[in-house]
Amino acid sequence: MTDQAITVVVVDDHPVFRLGMVGLLSSLPGIEVSGQAANRVELERAIASPPRVVMMDLQLHGAADAMDESGIELTRWLSHSHPEIAVLVITMSDDDTSVAAAVRAGARGYLLKAAAPEEVERAVRAVANGEMILGAQVAARAMAQVVGGRAAVRVPFPELTDREREVLDLVARGFDNATISRRLVLSPKTVRNHVANVLTKLSLRDRAAAIIAAREAGLGS
Report the pLDDT value the prediction gives residue 144, as an integer from 0 to 100.
56
The 3-state secondary structure of the chain reads: CCCCCEEEEEECCCHHHHHHHHHHHHCCCCEEEEEEECCHHHHHHHCCCCCCEEEECCCCCCCHHHCCCCHHHHHHHHHHHCCCCEEEEEECCCCHHHHHHHHHHCCCEEEECCCCHHHHHHHHHHHHCCCCEECCCCHHHHHHHHHHCCCCCCCCCCCCCHHHHHHHHHHHCCCCHHHHHHHHCCCHHHHHHHHHHHHHHCCCCCHHHHHHHHHHCCCCC
CA distance 124 to 118: 10
Domain 6-148 adopts which CATH fold? Rossmann fold (3.40.50)
Q: Is the pLDDT of residue 50 over 90?
A: yes
Residue 158 makes CB contacts below 8 A (sequence gap 6+) with none
Domain 162-217 adopts which CATH fold? Arc Repressor Mutant, subunit A (1.10.10)
Report the pLDDT value the prediction gives residue 2, as an integer from 0 to 100.
46
- Encode pLDDT of 72-102 as tens digits: 889 999 999 999 999 999 988 777 778 878 8
- Encode pLDDT of 149-205 as tens digits: 544 445 788 888 888 999 999 999 999 999 999 888 889 999 999 999 999 989 999
Residue 162 makes CB contacts below 8 A (sequence gap 6+) with 104
Beta bridge partners of 86: 53
So where are the chain's domains? 6-148, 162-217
Report the pLDDT value the prediction gives residue 159, as an integer from 0 to 100.
84
- Encode pLDDT of 103-136 as tens digits: 888 999 998 888 889 989 999 999 999 998 887 6
Report the pLDDT value the prediction gives residue 142, as an integer from 0 to 100.
53
Report the pLDDT value the prediction gives residue 19, as an integer from 0 to 100.
95
